[in-house]
Each structure stands twice: as C-alpha cells, then as structure tokens.
Structure 1
Amino acid sequence: MKTRFVLLYLCGIMVMSCGEDTNTTQVLETTDNTEQSAKITAKTIESIGYKDYALSSESESAVVTWERYHELATQISYLKKADFSFFNGDIELLKKFTEEFKTQMPDQFKVNPILSRNAIVETDLLKLNENLTLDNIKRSEKLLSIKALFVSFSNLNYQINEKLESDFYDKIQPE
C-alpha cells in the first residue's frame, strides 16, 4: 500500500513538471512574434508620412543625362517596396556611387542649394546603410533613416524644380 502511494506521488510530480514545458513554448512563440513584427515591410514603409516632390517635365528633361540620379530614383522606388539590397550592400560601392552621383551632376545644377541637398542625400544614404547593416539598431531608428532619405531626395527634387523655374523667370524680359 505504501509503494502504491509513493508511486502515485511520483507520477503526480512527473505530470506537474510536464506542464512547465508548455509555458516555455509559449514564451518562445511570443519571442518569435516580436521578431517578426520587427521586420520592415512594404506596408510599413508605405505608412511613412512625408511630402514627396516629383520632378516637373522641364526638370525631367534636364536630368535625362544624369544617369546616377535615375539609378538613385529607381533604387528609392525599390526601397518603397522594402527591397534593401542596394542600401545594405558594401559601403565602398555606396561611396563610389555617391562620388559618381556628384561628378555626373549637370553643370546647371551646380549651385549651392542643390549641392547642399546633394550632400544631405549622400549623408542619409550612408546613414541608412549603417543602420541597415548593423544588427543592434532598433526598428524605429531604421524607419527614421528611411524617412530621412525619402525627405532628402524629395527636397533635392524640389530644389531642382525651383532652380529651373527661377532660370525660366530670369529669362523673361520686361517690356
């Protein structure tokens, strides 16, 4: 009778200890859900709010020879779809790209407002690369870097439009 009691007691302890494994599984599932929510998706990027300036038709014809500008515009459109391949690549390639971006700039755009916007775009490109390649950067920081690049590229477009508009009005002679 005593052995049955001891055996029943041991079985009860074993059953109770098995219940702890389910709690551990739940903790692991919660951790997986948190990591999945940390991923940046196209929907997340789409929800970023900023003023997006597009080039006017005159500006588009003026930048037609600026190959690196078109490449950057294409890569930014990919970034809006959560394709980070260009922005989290090798830093040396990105630095080479930014150097070519500056040197290929048409002469009519080599004025201080556009050059300063160009410098800001370069800075935001490098900062985004750093934030995407480092593992210890928070998701919110990465999103802020993405937004900063969108804003700086949009401001570059705005300055290009303004430059060509002011050139147009400067050509008009009063009667």
Structure 2
Amino acid sequence: MKIISVILLLCCVMVLSCGDDKSSESQTESIENTNQNAKITAKTIENIDYKDYALSPESEKMIVTWERYQELAMQINYLKKADFSFFNGDKELLKKFIDEFKSQIPEEVKTNPTMSRIAIIETSLLKLNENLTIDNIERKDKITGIKDVFVAFSNLNYQINRKLERDFYDKIQHE
C-alpha cells in the first residue's frame, strides 16, 4: 500500500513537472523574439526619414582640411550601414573627438549658426552613445537617437552651404 502511494505521488510530480517545461519554452521564445526585434539593421536605418543635405563642391573644397569633419562624415556613413562601433564606444574618447572637432573648425565656417549646429551634433552624439551603451533603452529610442545624429549632421552641411552662398552673394553686391 505504501509503495502504491509513493508511485502515485511520483507520477503526480512528474505530470506537474512536465507542464512547467512548456511555460519555460514559451518564455524563452518570447525573450528571443524580443531580442530579434531589438536589433537595429542597415535596413531599419535605411528606412529612417529625414532630409539629407550634402555639401556643395565649393563647400567641400573649403572644409577639405577639417580632418575631424571628414572622420565624422565617414563614421556617419558607417552608422548608415548599422556599424555602431564609433558611437557605442568609450564616452571619454567620444568627448575627446568632439573637442578636437570643435577646435579644428576652419575660420571661414566659424559663425554663430554653424557653432550652434555643432553644439547640436555634440548633444546628439552623446545622447546616441548613452542610448546604445545602456541595455534597457527601447529600440525606438535608439532609432530616434540615430535619426537625431543624421538630422544634426545634415543641418550642419546645410548651414555650411548657406554660409558659403551668403559670402558669394555679398561679394557680388559690393562690386
């Protein structure tokens, strides 16, 4: 009689245990699905909608010596391909890069509107760094941070083009 009770008890425990495995699997699957949705791919970044201003050929000639600008443009192109290595790296290195970026500005470009665009780039770069390095930030916030960097850089290009165009028209009026 005791043996039958023990066997029944073991059978009940086994039946109840089997039910727990299914819930564990579904939890694991939902975690994996969430991780898949959290990945930001080049296709995701390609679908970000913003106005992308390129530098005019005259503007490119004017800033050809601005090494940090060229490096930032290259890193933003990498970001468009979902390479986050520059943007989710060490914050101190990013701050050092930003300081060098600001200190190397050519005198022809150094105006208040341009400096304000550079301040916006600095803020958006640091914000993106925080969004990418902290684990509990939602995917949509990371994408918004990426868009902010794109928009800030595009607006800097637009401002540089405007500055050069304004200088050109000022020369025409004085003659």
Tell me whether the two structures share a fold, i.e. TM-score over 0.5.
yes
Task: Quote the offset at 1:97 in angstroms.
Answer: 0.7
Report the CA distance shift for 1:14/1:152 in structure 2 as closer, same or farther (over 3 A): same
Per-residue CA deviation, residues 106-136 of structure 1 (Å, 9 max, x unaligned), is 1011111101101110111111111111122
Aligned position for 1:169: 169
Query: Does residue 1:62 correspond to 2:46, yes or no?
Result: no
Structure 2 regions of 5+ residues with no counterpart?
Answer: none
- Range moving further from structure 2, 13-22 or 63-72: 13-22
CA distance, structure 2, for counterparts of residue 138 and residue 13 of structure 1: 40
Identity, % of aligned pairs? Answer: 67
Shift of 1:12: 7.0
Query: Which amino acid counterpart does residue 98 of structure 2 have in structure 1?
Result: T
CA shift in 2, pair 1:174/1:138, >3 Å: same
Cα deviation 1:18-54 (Å, max 9, x = unaligned): 2441232122112111111111111111111100000
| Structure-1 residue corresponding to 2:77 | 77
Of stretches 135-144 and 5-14 in structure 1, the one that deviates more from structure 2 is 5-14
Q: TM-score, normalised by structure 2?
A: 0.90
Residue correspondences, number: 175
Relative to structure 2, which stretch is displaced further, 150-159 or 135-144? 135-144
**C-alpha distance in structure 1 between counterparts of 2:84 and 2:21, whole Å:** 38
**Partner Cα distance (2:92, 2:20) in 1:** 51
Instruction: Give structure 1 regions of 4+ aligned residues with deviation exceeding 3 angstroms.
Output: 3-17
- TM-score by structure 1 length? 0.90
The answer as to 2:130 corresponding to 1:130 is yes
Change (3 A) 1:6 1:117: closer
1:101 aligns to what?
101
Amino acid in the other structure paired with 1:144: T
